[in-house]
Amino acid sequence: MNRFFLQKGSHPHTWVVTDTENHIVIVFDEHRYNDTQKITMLDGDQVTDVMSVPRALREIGDWLYSEHRNII
């Protein structure tokens, strides 16, 4: 099973990346990842380990850079 999923957003030039392990969803504008991130928890999940969020966000960014740098 893949931990990360990337798909086109519902608005033009937007993308949605999902971290299925940490239940984090990030919507961002194409070529503006750092400036336009909108972060939510999948299905209203609650954060139980506060330190897992920054770690997960770094891992998502690393994965996007290594696998999809042409859109970030």
CA–CA gap between residue 48 and residue 70 (Å, rounded): 33
38-68 pLDDT, tens per residue? 999 887 777 777 788 899 999 999 999 999 9
Distance of CA 47 to the CA centre of its chain: 15
The answer, yes or no, to whether residue 70 has pLDDT greater than 80, is yes
How do the domains of the chain map onto residue ranges? 4-68
SS3 of residue 29 by DSSP: strand
Please give the structure tokens belonging to residue 26.
């990030």
12-40 pLDDT per residue, tens: 999 999 999 999 999 999 999 999 999 99
Its pTM stands at 0.90
Q: Would you place residue 71 in the very low, low, confident or very high pLDDT band (cuts 50, 70, 90)? A: very high
